[in-house]
Amino acid sequence: MFDGLKDKLSGFRSDVEENVDATEPDEEPTGDAEPAAGSSEAAEDPSEAAAEESPGGAESDSTVDSSGDEGDEADDEPSTFQRAKAFATGRIIIEEEDLEQPLWELEMALLESDVEMSVAERILDSVRESMLGESRKQVETTGELVESALHDALLDVIAVGQFDFEERIADAEKPVTIVFTGVNGVGKTTSIAKLSEWLADRGYSSVLANGDTYRAGANEQIAEHADRLGRELISHDQGGDPAAVIYDGVEYAAANDIDVVLGDTAGRLHTSDDLMAQLEKIDRVVDPDMTLFVDEAVAGQDAVNRAKEFNDAAEIDGAILTKADADSSGGAAISVAYVTGKPILFLGTGQGYDDLTLFEPEALVESLLGEE
């Protein structure tokens, strides 16, 4: 899953390592070596010689002397002598020139992987801020430094708004009502069936309510899932009021001690005024506990744009991305939460009812960086 993006992130790590290695001194100065009087190094940065003799020794030497003047020197890039001395004391310094080309290539890689522009920029800014001018002991390799910066930058955008879905179900007053929305053909009804099974595995009962009264054959499709899973289905005739169907589902659940109502709705575009009005009515009549947006991970940038549009038109609480197992780019998984401010909650990873995976940002980042 997301193998293409994994390769691109690995390429960024290799590029930075190569650039840093290429600019390290060819010969390692000894730890107590000092520039000769009158040498170009001493003339270039006389404050360093004084720093060598000051208490604290090598540990006070990082990228620049933060305890001294904070004027022009604090804004300068590390000098050649500073780099050599840092290397001699077992440290490395990351400079702008080390990152410029790799960051540009990382930006292109993210955009090619359908990561939304603002999300890509956020990742680049975080990586640059984390690494630029950084001085780390060489036992912590350049690769480890890059991996740490990427880990934090990716987690920053992926984990936006994340909450514990099962904990919310457990704590909520029953029945919990969840309404599903999205465009046609993205696996919304199948995702409802999968979530019903996921809930059953954790001891929660559920009833399905078919609020998709617009599409011919919708009742038959969800009825087939209900039969296979042994779930009760609440439905009305085609053309009925979707809000009334889901309301009846809530009434049935309350009367029969059912934990969760899973309400399907007609596939729609955010520009479909009549269908969006149906969602607004469902909100008024049913007041669902959660509204989940469903789209395909393989839709990439289109899925990201639709998630934002649906959230703007009828606020969502989270998202489910289907066909994640077939997605090599990972752009939607990286971008949806940051763009909407609402979390991805589940990934669809196959055709079976058990192929629904709780979305865990930390686990995804570790997978992308090859840490698992």
- The span from the CA of 70 to the CA of 364, in Å, is 41
Two tokens at 371?
């840490």
Q: Which is more confidently placed, 323 or 15? A: 323
Task: Work out the pLDDT band at 131, boundaries 50, 70, 90.
Answer: confident
Q: For residue 91, what pLDDT is reported?
A: 56
Calpha distance 169→216 (Å, rounded)? 32
pLDDT of res. 78:
53
Q: Which of 158, 182, 201 lies at the terminal end of a domain, its last residue? A: 158
**Single residue among 132, 158, 184 that ends a domain in this structure:** 158
pLDDT value at position 341?
94
Over residues 143-172, the mean pLDDT reads: 90
What's the mean per-residue pLDDT of the chain? Answer: 79
- At 239-275, the pLDDT tens digits run 788 999 999 999 999 999 999 999 999 887 766 777 7
Residues 103 and 151 occupy one common structural domain: yes
Name the token pair of 273: 């005024």
Confidence check: pLDDT of 72 > 90: no
Residues 36 and 123 in one domain: yes
- State which of 11-15, 25-29, 98-102, 222-226 shows the largest mean pLDDT: 222-226
Residue 70 lies in a domain: no
- Quick one: pLDDT at residue 50? 42
Mean pLDDT, to the nearest integer, of 68-89?
49
> Would residue 138 count as lying in a domain?
yes
Please tell me the total count of domains within the chain. Answer: 2
Alpha-carbon distances, residue 66 vs 72, 121, 216 (angstroms)? 12, 29, 70
Claim to verify: residue 327 and residue 225 sit in the same structural domain: yes
Better pLDDT: 72 or 124:
124
Find the CATH number of the domain harbouring 253.
Answer: 3.40.50.300
Distance CA 122, CA 367 (A): 20
On the question of pLDDT at 99 being above 70, the answer is: yes
34 and 93 in a common domain:
yes
Structural domain that includes position 93: 1-65+77-158
pLDDT (tens digit per residue) in 274-312: 777 888 888 899 999 999 999 999 988 899 999 998 888
166: which 2 tokens?
Answer: 């099962």
In a domain, 108, yes or no: yes
Q: How many CB atoms lie within 10 A of CB 106?
A: 24
**Within a domain: residue 255?**
yes
Of the candidates 342, 307, 349, the one whose C-alpha atom is nearest the C-alpha of residue 327 is 349
CB atoms within 10 A of CB 70: 11
Q: Verify that 178 and 42 share a domain, yes or no.
A: no
Length of the chain: 372
CB under 8 Å, gap of 24 or more: what pairs does 255-258 form? 256/207, 256/232, 257/174, 257/205, 258/174, 258/175, 258/205, 258/206, 258/207, 258/232
% the chain with pLDDT above 70: 74
Q: Give the per-residue pLDDT at 62.
A: 42
Flag whether pLDDT at 143 surpasses 80.
Answer: no
Tens digit of each residue's pLDDT (9 = 90 or more) over 181-238: 998 889 999 999 999 999 999 999 999 999 888 887 888 999 999 999 999 999 988 8
198 and 261 housed in the same domain: yes
Please report, as a single letter, which amino acid is at residue 86: A
CB 237 within 8 A of CB 247: no
Burial of 225 (0-12, 13-18, 19+ CB in 10 A): buried
Taking Cα atoms as reference points, which of 180, 188, 161, 183 lies closest to residue 309? 183
Q: Please state, in angstroms and rounded to a whole number, the distance separating the CA atoms of residues 192 and 221.
A: 12
